[in-house]
Amino acid sequence: MLICRRHGAGALRVVSWFWPNTSSSIVDPTSRDRSCDGKAGRERGSRRRQKPQIGIFMSLSEAMSVLSQEYGSQACHSILIEHEELEADRDSLRTVARWCRRFAPIVALENTACPECIHVDVTGTANLFGGDDTIVRTAVRMLAVRGISSCAAIADTPAAAWAAAHHTNQVASAVESPRCVSTNRVRRWCVVPSQKQSEWLAHLSVASLQVGSEIADRLSELGVHSIAQLMQLPRSSLASRFAKTLTTRLSQFEGTLFEPLASIAENSLPESRHCFESPVSTIAAIDGMLDQMLAECCRKLLQQGLGAMAVQMRFQRSKAAPVVIDVGLFGPSTSVRHLGDLLRMRMERVRLSGEVDEIVLEVIQVAVTTCRQRTLFGETDACHSKAQRVGMLVDRFSGRLGRSAVFQPQLIADTQPEYAWIAVPPRIDSQTVHQSETTRSGRRNRARRQPQATERVAVWTHGRRPIRMHSRPLPLEIPLQTFNGHPTQFQWDGKNHTISKVDGPERIETAWWRGASVRRDYYVVETETGSMWWLFRRLRDGHWFLHGEFS
C-alpha cells in the first residue's frame, strides 16, 4: 500500500507506505514509521535480504518503478494506492488509544500536527500484567490480532520510549550478543532499564530526539550524528547556536525536564463500571449486570444520535491481568438486547481463572444512526426494518465464526476471473435491501411472463460468468476429446461428461504487469444431463481446466 499526498500541479508523492511479507520475517522498517509508545500504525515491509528504497515524498511513478525492480512487474498491479487523510488517521489513532486503556488509565496521542504514536503511562500497572516485558509483548500482540503491525518500547521518559520504539532492532543489537540477535527479523518490542536510556540509546541518530530535519542536518554537517556525540557538547553552546527545541528535547530524553502527556478525552464515548462488594468467580454473577450497564451506555448514545460499532468489556482482577472481550458490529446499534446477545456469545467461551473485582463496559467506536419516522401505530419503514434484521443476523454470524469469515464479494475491474473480486465487510442498509427485493421481484415477474418450454433451450452470451467459481482453476483428470478445436467430452470427479452444446471461445489475456502472461480460451458447455460448466484451454500448452459451474 502507498499513502500519497497531492502536491503542486496535482502530482502524487508518497508520504507513507508498507509492503506485506508473506514468506519471511520483516526486516527494519523505513523512515517515518507509525508507532505507539509503542509504534501503532502502518508498518513498511520488505523482503528478507533486501528492501525497496522508497523515500518519503518520492513521486508515485518513481515508487512504482522501485517496486517493479525489486518484486517484479506483478507488484505494480497488486499495489493499493490511498490518498492521505490526516483527520481520518487521527480518528483511527484515537480508536487504537482507547483499546490501549486496558493497560493503563492514562493514554495520550503524540503531540504533533500529524500524530503517529500512542503514549501509555504504565507506571504502577505493569506489575498487574506480569512486568514490563509481559505488558509490552501483550500490547504488540493485542494490536496484531486486530490487524495492526506495531512496535512498542518501555522507558523512563516518553522521548526515550519514542526513540526506542522506532529502532527496536538497533537497541537489541547494541545490548545483546550477536548470537542472540537475528538480522532477518525485526524485534517488535524492547524494554529500556530504568536510568539506562542514555546508555542504551546513545548510539541512535539525533533525529530520534524529534528535533526536526533542519536541526538534524545542521548537526550532521558539524559531524554530530548520534545522541552520544550530542550529549558530549556543552548545553550553553547548543542553546546559543540552535533553537531551544534541541536542548528541550535532550532534557526530556534524559528525564531532567518533565514532558506532559495530554490524555484523550475521557467522556468522548460512554463507559459504565460496576464494582462488586465481594469478588465473584462465575459468569452467571457477571451476566446479571450486563443489561443494566448496556442500557446506561446506549442511553448516552441515543442522546447524541450515535450507535455502537465496537464494544469492549473488561473483567478487572486484583491478582491477575484483566480479561478483555471485544465485539465489533457491521452497522451502528443502540439495541441493548442485540449487544447483550453478542457479548454473551463471547462470554460463553471465557473461562475465569480468578475472581473478578470490577466490570468495565466501554464503547470504543461509534457511527451516526439513521432516524426513521414512525407511522401512527408505531411501524417503521419495511426496508429499514429488514435491514436491521439482516444486520443483526450478520453480527451473530461474525460473533460465532469470526469477522474474517463473514464478508461480501465486490467485483473489481480485472480480466483474469480469479482476481476479479475482493472480500469486503458486508454493507447492510435500507437501500441494499430495497435493491435486493426489487431484483427478486423482477425475476419472479419475468419468470411468470416466460412460457413453459417443453425443451431445454440454452441462451449463450459472451462474458457470462458461472454461479460458482473456484478460487483457482482445477486441472481436469484427462485431456478433453475435441472436434475441430471444440471440446466434446471430459472426465471430472471420476465421471465421464458428454458435451451437447458449446459456446465459445472467449479469449482472456492478462497484461504485462501481471508477470507471466496468461492466455486462455473459455467455453461455456452444457452436458447431456443438463449441467453447465465453465472450462478453458491454456494456449501455452493446450491443457484444459475447470473454472466454474453454472448449476
Whether residues 348 and 422 fall in one domain: no
Whether residues 241 and 137 fall in one domain: yes
Q: How confident is the model at residue 29 (pLDDT cuts 50, 70, 90)?
A: very low
Whether residues 344 and 210 fall in one domain: no
Q: Which pLDDT value is given to residue 457?
A: 35
Show the CA angle centred on residue 434, arms to residues 432 and 440, nearest 5°. 105
Q: Is residue 416 assigned to a domain?
A: yes
Whether residues 198 and 94 fall in one domain: yes
Beta-bridge mates of residue 544: 537
SS3 for 345?
A: helix
Whether residues 114 and 248 fall in one domain: yes
Q: Is residue 171 assigned to a domain?
A: yes
Domain boundary among 83, 103, 123: 83
pLDDT per residue as tens digits for the range 334-348: 888 888 888 888 888
Cα–Cα distance for residue pair 188/246, rounded to 1 Å: 28
Cα–Cα distance for residue pair 264/99, rounded to 1 Å: 12
Q: Is residue 248 assigned to a domain?
A: yes
Q: Is residue 458 assigned to a domain?
A: no
Cα–Cα distance for residue pair 279/286, rounded to 1 Å: 11
| Residue that is written with C-alpha cell 462488586 in the block | 276
Whether residues 230 and 315 fall in one domain: no
Whether residues 355 and 497 fall in one domain: no
- Does the pLDDT at position 40 exceed 50? no
* Residue that wins the pLDDT comparison between 115 and 444: 115
Structural domains in the chain (count): 5
- Does the pLDDT at position 385 exceed 70? no
pLDDT per residue as tens digits for the range 301-328: 888 888 888 888 888 887 777 788 888 8
Whether residues 19 and 115 fall in one domain: no
**Structural domain range at position 331:** 271-369
Whether residues 248 and 277 fall in one domain: no
**Cα–Cα distances in angstroms (integers) from residue 494 to residues 471, 474, 497, 534, in the given order:** 21, 14, 10, 18
- Whole-structure pTM value: 0.52
Residue 414: what are its φ and ψ, rounded to 5°? Answer: -150, 130
Q: Which pLDDT value is given to residue 24?
A: 38
* Residue that wins the pLDDT comparison between 25 and 427: 427
- Does the pLDDT at position 153 exceed 90? yes
Show the cell assigned to 337: 438486547
Q: Which pLDDT value is given to residue 512?
A: 59
Please, what sign has the CA dihedral across residues 410, 412, 418, 424? negative
- Does the pLDDT at position 14 exceed 90? no
Q: Is residue 49 assigned to a domain?
A: yes
Cα–Cα distance for residue pair 95/365, rounded to 1 Å: 7
Cα–Cα distance for residue pair 304/366, rounded to 1 Å: 10
Element (H, E) at 189: strand 189-191
Beta-bridge mates of residue 135: none
Amino acid at 374: R
* Average pLDDT of span 275-295: 83
Domain boundary among 223, 254, 285: 254
* Average pLDDT of span 438-447: 44
- Does the pLDDT at position 546 exceed 80? yes
Whether residues 193 and 108 fall in one domain: yes
SS3 for 151?
A: strand
| Residue that is written with C-alpha cell 518484486 in the block | 71
Q: Is residue 77 assigned to a domain?
A: yes
Q: What is the dihedral of CA 113, 118, 121, 122, to 10 degrees?
A: -170
Domain boundary among 404, 423, 450: 450
Q: Which pLDDT value is given to residue 428?
A: 59
- Report the first-to-last Cα separation within the chain, whole angstroms: 38
Q: Is residue 459 assigned to a domain?
A: no
Q: Is residue 419 assigned to a domain?
A: yes
Closest CA to 363 of 425, 289, 307, 283: 307
Whether residues 247 and 139 fall in one domain: yes
Q: Which residues contact 382 (CB under 8 A, 6 or more apart)?
A: none
Whether residues 69 and 105 fall in one domain: no
